[in-house]
Amino acid sequence: MCVSFQRLISIAATAGFLAAAPAAHALDMVRFMAPGSPGGGYDQTARTLGKALVEAGAAKSAMYDNKNGAGGTLGLAQFSNSAKGDVNALCVMGAIMVTGIVQNKPQITLANVTPIARLFTEYNVIAVRKDSPYRSFDELMADFKKNPSGVKWAGGSKGSVDHIGTAELAGAAGVPVAKVNYIPFGGGGEVISATLGGHISAVTGGYAELAKYIEAGQFRVLAVGSPTRMPGVDAPTLKEAGYDIEIGNWRGVYGAANLTPAQRKELTDAVLAATKTKVWQEALKTNAWSSSVISGDEFGKFVDQEHDRLRAVMTKVGLI
């Protein structure tokens, strides 16, 4: 077969163009379900991961839906029902969703969707207002042991990581859980106001939620729930203070139901690539998120273990 010189040039040029062209995005427009309020932890995680997916070249773009309520289980149900088989769909979840499932016993649970990856753990801080009489964590705990109900703890809703962590701290201190005076709040702004107003003895929550008040000097951190000291935070860990526990809210993502093995791998690879980007690494540092990435079946087993652990604590606290 005779091929003209011009045709050979054309074929070579086309081949060169194809070789130089960038790889196609693994995903198209990723649709995130953030099962909480705009601006909350789920929403922040979704938007940060969306930017990271785009920066990694793993997705063309991202869009976000918010569905608050019932510990995140309302958003989970909407996600499960609307995204079956969709490789471009992700639902943010975490320890709070697990406790929501334990408490609410919804028809749709995490068994109905596909585990992709745990991303990070946001460890709690225990803080007081700047004019609090408690100058150290030892002073706070001494009062707590002496008069448990006289110390007013505050944080997120009943069954939240804040609530369960306070119960675990009481157990480690030898204080009966029934005597813990924990005041739950539905929103971060409410608990901040109550603490600054002197109605709360100590507040517990993720560092990112309290950061601007800590950095402004309105709150003093007495202890942190992380395994090692938080960079830039001058406070001991609970373990350093003599209490062998950690308090933190891990977050991760699940994919839609009915994904094929190839789709699950494609989605997992995209998420893992996103965690290596500059935007993601900067978010870890800014928010004091501790990277704790695990994926696939290992992540699914971890969630099952957390379900059992959290259920046991919630039973002890009297939430179920």
Six-digit token pair at 299?
């992540």
Q: What are phi and psi of 122, to 5 degrees?
A: -105, 105
Straight-line distance from the first to the last Cα atom of the chain, in angstroms, rounded to the nearest whole number = 80
**pLDDT tens digits along 115-169:** 999 999 999 999 999 999 999 999 999 999 999 999 999 998 888 899 999 999 9
Residue-level pLDDT at 192: 92
* pLDDT band (50, 70, 90) for residue 34: very high
- Cβ atoms 29, 88 nearer than 8 A: yes
CB atoms closer than 10 angstroms to residue 18: 8
DSSP state of 237: B
- Cβ atoms 125, 207 nearer than 8 A: yes
Residue-level pLDDT at 187: 65
- Cβ atoms 95, 307 nearer than 8 A: no
CB atoms closer than 10 angstroms to residue 78: 16
Provide mean pLDDT across the span 277-285.
96
Residue 7, pLDDT above cutoff 80: no
**pLDDT tens digits along 76-115:** 999 999 999 999 999 999 999 999 999 999 999 999 999 9
- Cβ atoms 144, 204 nearer than 8 A: no
Of all residues in the chain, the percent with pLDDT exceeding 90 is 78
- Cβ atoms 236, 223 nearer than 8 A: yes
Furthest C-alpha separation in the chain: 97
Give the torsion sign (CA, 82, 83, 88, 92).
positive
Residue 73, pLDDT above cutoff 90: yes
138 against 24, higher pLDDT: 138
pTM of the model: 0.83
Q: Any idea which of 11-15, 22-26, 210-214 has the lowest mean pLDDT?
A: 11-15
Residue-level pLDDT at 158: 84
